[in-house]
């Protein structure tokens, strides 16, 4: 625990004029006021305001802020009153402490209407003086650091509120370290499984990459020295939540997780930043698409830096942030850094304690929000506005009962359903957004109320895996479909076995199979059924194992394993250069000793056709099952797919499976607008012919005096071929436009 004199010394070290007596008075007053109160950990309660004050002293805040920190819980938790605080410490500190008292009563994770109202109060309380927010954030940080002592139910609510409200607020105020630490603590309690998995994986990578951080640091330092750029290079391993949220954003799995190292290059001048970039990019490969210049385009919270990712020594990816010292302070301390650097720039003597600047961007933003708040009279509308601004990378939606569900931007009702509960996701068949039935692929917007329509008999179609945005939804879909595959093979196998036993005049019984498990080298009857269903075990072998004396033949053995890909799917059919992947129960199953057994839900023998407009290799595709007709293949971006959103059971995962030695042509349709000139149609046909495209049909769709619009049905090898043809057409003078029809 920080001691009284240590705290005072620390404040005096950066603010020599600090009011020592004020700090001492606040210390003694708070200690007495909290008396014998204890924290959940059993520690004296006073240790809490003291640690909060210490956190703020680290941020070099002024004496009034430190005193406020010491006093922040006195009005709420002890007999202290506003007037007493005013009398002893002055009205400035009195109003700061009162602001904190107001916030303390707010429960931000609650029903929509109340939440809006509470959020409004929070903003009003913190906007009168930004120091209220800084003390609140430090208060929350200390509570998060000691959250393990709090009861689990309450713990979760606090972590949720931290993740949803306080961490984004810290980020919005430009205090990156604070945002990160709040998120890391909250993540650990909100998603313990994910946290443990990431920590495990990090540990493994750390063992594998021993000494790598030092090695990259040294390499960077040496290269920069050679180029005469003076820089401080510091490397670190990224934190679990930072890694996790990136995995969710970039849709990568834990196994693919490799770039976990981040390096900071801090230089003196802006020009040095760009020289450093040049050195780094000429020494190592830059990862495309990862270069961002926030120096010429600062973020809204005043953040400036250059970001890039390189493939560094030992072929490890490393993220770099390149910035000046001033930018570094702004990045770490945000609103609190401004005044400090303004003073330093004016050369006005030794640095003083920081009274946060009232004209930083972040502060202006807060003011703007409050302005809106005072003007408007609809708190819910206000909430939508505020949250939109505050959480730029998130959308906030609500269940019909008013529960808040925070999702990454771009999320759809599938993600929402899984965020509510895995069972809701697994049985989801449709969604109503703000009362209206909408497709499951609709991108959710802030404030949407989402009602998920469930059906018990439903299983998530595997195609959802590529539609879902959140990692939680995707992994749950994968799990559910994998379980479904297993169950369906089991069902199929049981059906086959019943028939196999019946053919030999024997009764099929679970007990009989249980007796023969050893002979069949299987663990459970379910395993036996599944092995038969997958074709790994012949049904006749099972009959023999159960009636060894009556059915002659050799001892049962496992037949070839059906090859599975890593997602647990089974490649079951190859038609027209397409590979189908669907959960079990498929096709006619041929057994050596019996003719094919038709099983309901046949898919393997179904005819396959392309939707109007076709699909060509290179397109992402999906199959739609039409009972009695077969499977129709659509490109994933086809408008027509919307019609099937309500019937997810008809979606089938398909991928291209092109045989390089036997290339095939695929149908596609294009729309061409050409000048009405003699020979223009011939020119169009020639371009297509010369590019090796087959024309199936040409239809004039519209004819105006000068132009003809036509639709051409083609056969092409693949997407590149189609694009080449379109490019060739556009190059012709008679063609005014050429595009694909989907």
Tell me the closest approach of the beta carbon of residue 642 to Mn ion, in angstroms: 51
Give the separation between CA 73 and CA 477, rounded to whole angstroms.
46
Cβ count near 386 (within 10 Å): 22
250: helix, coil or strand?
A: helix
Q: Which residue out of 62, 63, 73, 76 is catalytically annotated? A: 76
Residue 159 CB, nearest distance to Mn ion (Å)? 16
Whether the CA torsion 703, 708, 709, 714 is positive or negative: it is positive
- Nearest distance, CB of residue 69 and Mn ion, angstroms: 9
Beta strands in 487-554 (DSSP E): none
- For the chain, the straight-line distance linking the first and the last C-alpha, in angstroms and rounded, comes to 68
Phi, psi dihedrals of residue 536, rounded to the nearest 5°: -85, -20
CA distance 430 to 649: 11
Q: Which is nearer to Mn ion, 70 or 407 (CB)?
A: 70
Q: Which residues contact 193 (CB under 8 A, 6 or more apart)?
A: none
- Closer to Mn ion at the Cβ: 72 or 486? 72
- As given in the structure block, the two tokens for residue 710 are 């036509």
Q: At what angle do helices 4-14 and 47-58 cross, to 10 degrees?
A: 20
Nearest CA among 167, 159, 142 for reference residue 39: 142
Please give the Cα distance from 321 to 304 (Å, whole number). 10
- Tell me whether residue 7 or residue 224 sits nearer to Mn ion (CB atom): 7
Active site residue 76: yes
**Residue whose structure tokens are 């023998």:** 605
Q: Which residues bind Mn ion (CB under 5 A)?
A: 73, 139
| Shortest CB 136 distance to Mn ion, Å | 9
- Which residue number, 96 or 331, has a Cβ lying nearer to Mn ion? 96
Interstrand relation of 578-581 and 651-656 (parallel, antiparallel or unpaired): antiparallel
CA angle 601/603/609 to nearest 5° reads 135
CB neighbour list of residue 91: distance below 8 Å, 6 or more residues apart:
none
Phi, psi of 552 (to 5 degrees): -70, 160
Whole-angstrom distance, CA of residue 95 vs CA of residue 340: 24
* Residue 561 DSSP SS3: coil
**Cα(86)–Cα(361) distance, rounded to whole angstroms?**
31
Considering the complex, state which of residue 68 and residue 361 has its C-beta at the smaller distance from Mn ion: 68
Q: Measured between alpha carbons, how far is 168 from 174 in angstroms, rounded to an integer?
A: 10
Considering the candidates 77, 114, 536, 724, report the single residue annotated as catalytic. 77
Nearer to Mn ion, 140 or 264 (CB): 140
Least gap, CB of 323 to Mn ion (angstroms): 33
CA proximity to 174, closest of 411, 333, 401: 333
Specify whether 269 is catalytic. no
**Which of 139, 645 has the CB closer to Mn ion?**
139
- What residue is closest to Mn ion based on CB? 139
3-state class of 732 per DSSP?
coil
The tokens for 320 are 């770099």
DSSP 289: T
**722-to-101, 447, 535, 686 alpha-carbon distances in Å:** 66, 42, 40, 15
Neighbours of 701 (CB within 10 A): 12
CB of 139 to Mn ion, least distance (A): 4
Q: Give the rounded distance of the alpha carbon of 20 from its chain centre.
A: 48
Q: What does the block give as tokens for 284?
A: 């190592």
Q: How far is CA 555 from CA 501, 504, 523, 738, in A?
A: 17, 18, 18, 66
Q: Which pair of structure tokens corresponds to residue 617?
A: 């290799």
Contact criterion met (CB below 8 Å) for 459 and 483: no
CB of 70 to Mn ion, least distance (A): 11
Residue ranges of alpha helices (H) inside 265-378 are: 270-283, 325-333, 335-346, 361-375
- Smallest separation (angstroms) from Mn ion to the CB of 467: 43
Q: How far is the CB of 135 from Mn ion (least distance, A)?
A: 9
Where in the sequence numbering do the catalytic residues fall? 76-77
């Amino acid at each position: 625990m920080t001691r009284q004199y240590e705290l005072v010394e620390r404040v005096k070290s950066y603010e020599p004029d600090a009011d020592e007596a004020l700090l001492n008075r606040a210390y003694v007053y708070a200690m007495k006021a909290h008396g014998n109160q204890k924290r959940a950990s059993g520690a004296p309660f006073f240790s809490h305001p003291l640690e909060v004050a210490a956190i703020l002293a680290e941020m070099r805040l002024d004496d009034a802020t430190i005193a406020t920190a010491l006093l922040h819980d006195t009005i709420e938790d002890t007999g202290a009153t506003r007037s007493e605080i005013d009398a002893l410490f002055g009205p400035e500190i009195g109003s700061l402490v009162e602001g904190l008292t107001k916030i303390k009563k707010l429960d931000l994770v609650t029903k929509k209407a109340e939440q809006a109202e509470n959020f409004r109060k929070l903003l009003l309380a913190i906007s009168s003086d930004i120091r209220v927010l800084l003390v609140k954030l430090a208060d929350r940080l200390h509570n998060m650091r000691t959250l393990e002592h709090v009861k689990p139910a309450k713990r979760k609510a606090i972590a949720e509120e931290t993740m949803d409200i306080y961490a984004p607020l810290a980020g919005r105020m430009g205090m990156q370290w604070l945002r990160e630490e709040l998120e890391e603590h909250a993540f650990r309690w909100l998603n313990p499984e994910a946290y443990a998995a990431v920590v495990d994986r990090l540990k493994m990578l750390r063992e594998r990459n021993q000494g790598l951080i030092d090695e990259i640091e040294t390499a960077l330092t040496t290269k920069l020295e050679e180029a005469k750029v003076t820089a401080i290079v510091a490397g670190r391993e990224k934190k679990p939540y930072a890694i996790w949220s990136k995995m969710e954003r970039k849709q990568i799995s834990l196994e693919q997780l490799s770039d976990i190292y981040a390096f900071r290059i801090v230089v003196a001048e802006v020009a040095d930043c760009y020289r450093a970039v040049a050195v780094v990019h000429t020494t190592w490969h830059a990862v495309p698409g990862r270069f961002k210049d926030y120096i010429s385009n600062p973020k809204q919270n005043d953040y400036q830096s250059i970001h890039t990712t390189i493939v560094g020594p030992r072929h490890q990816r490393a993220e770099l942030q390149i910035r000046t010292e001033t930018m570094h302070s702004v990045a770490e301390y945000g609103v609190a850094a401004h005044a400090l650097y303004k003073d330093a720039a004016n050369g006005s003597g030794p640095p003083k304690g920081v009274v946060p600047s009232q004209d930083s961007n972040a502060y202006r933003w807060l003011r703007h929000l409050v302005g809106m708040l005072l003007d408007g009279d609809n708190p819910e509308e206000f909430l939508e506005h505020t949250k939109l601004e505050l959480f730029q990378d998130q959308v906030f939606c609500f269940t019909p009962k008013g529960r808040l569900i925070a999702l990454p931007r771009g999320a759809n009702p599938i993600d929402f359903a899984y965020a509510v509960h895995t069972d809701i996701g697994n049985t989801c068949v449709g969604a109503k957004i703000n009362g209206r039935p909408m497709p499951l692929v609709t991108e959710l917007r802030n404030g949407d109320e989402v009602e998920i329509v469930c059906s018990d008999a439903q299983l998530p179609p595997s195609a959802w895996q590529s539609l879902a945005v959140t990692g939680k939804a995707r992994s749950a879909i994968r799990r559910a479909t994998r379980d479904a595959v297993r169950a369906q093979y089991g069902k199929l196998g049981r059906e086959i076995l019943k028939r196999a036993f019946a053919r030999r005049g024997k009764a099929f019984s679970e007990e009989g199979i249980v007796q023969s498990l050893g002979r069949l080298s299987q663990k459970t009857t379910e395993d036996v059924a599944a092995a038969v269903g997958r074709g790994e075990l012949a049904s006749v072998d099972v009959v023999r194992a159960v009636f060894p004396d009556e059915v002659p033949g050799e001892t049962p053995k496992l037949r070839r394993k059906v090859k599975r890909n890593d997602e647990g799917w089974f490649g079951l059919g190859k038609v027209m250069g397409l590979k189908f992947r669907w959960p079990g129960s498929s096709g006619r199953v041929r057994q050596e000793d019996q003719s094919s057994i038709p099983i309901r839900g046949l898919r393997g023998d179904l005819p396959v056709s392309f939707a109007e407009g076709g699909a060509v290799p290179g397109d992402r595709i999906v199959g739609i099952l039409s009972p009695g007709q077969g499977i129709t293949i659509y490109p994933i971006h086809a408008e027509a797919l919307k019609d099937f959103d309500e019937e997810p059971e008809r979606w089938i995962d398909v991928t291209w499976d092109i045989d390089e030695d036997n290339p095939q042509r695929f149908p596609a349709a294009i729309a061409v607008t050409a000048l009405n000139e003699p020979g223009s149609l011939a020119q169009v046909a020639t371009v297509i012919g010369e590019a090796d495209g087959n024309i199936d049909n040409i239809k004039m769709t519209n004819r105006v005096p000068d132009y003809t619009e036509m639709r051409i049905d083609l056969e092409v090898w693949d997407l590149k071929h189609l694009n080449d043809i379109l490019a060739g057409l556009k190059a012709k003078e008679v063609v005014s436009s050429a595009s694909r029809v989907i």
